[in-house]
Amino acid sequence: MIAHSDQLVPTDRISAADDFSRHYSQSSLLAKLSLCARVAGREVVEKALILYYAAQSPQLPKWVRTVIYGSLGYFILPADAIPDLIPGAGYADDLGVLVAAAAVVIAHITPEVKSQARTKLREWFAEAEAE
């Protein structure tokens, strides 16, 4: 366990997040979201956007950024615990990872971050509904 402010974070989780964070890039995340937003669903996209916007803070501790990038890296990978191509279930594991990451870094998710995510979510899903 590593102590970070008022939280204890298991070192194995940081290590696993660090492994997946190698797959994260802003362009890869935005490409994945543009390709799969409808299939993945609003909840998955919302969690990914919240974490994405939270990671933009320059004051973010390294361990928080590692957890966020690790979860987003996992989301980007198509071949994970439940392959994304499986209809109806492909994004269930991704949602679980994104929710778990958000729970770990909740102290760093500000109202502004949530507002940015909601604005982008409305924009993307309004476009999808208009088509």
Summarize pLDDT for 8-35 with one digit per residue, the tens.
444 454 444 556 777 788 999 999 888 8
Give the lowest-confidence range in 4-8, 32-36, 51-55.
4-8
Range of the domain at 13: 2-130
Predicted local confidence at residue 40, as pLDDT: 85
In degrees rounded to 5, what are phi and psi of residue 82? -120, 105
Predicted local confidence at residue 41, as pLDDT: 87
Question: What is the overall mean pLDDT for the chain?
Answer: 80
Total tally of structural domains belonging to the chain: 1
Query: Percent of the chain having pLDDT more than 70?
Result: 73
In degrees rounded to 5, what are phi and psi of residue 2? -115, 130
pTM over 0.85: no
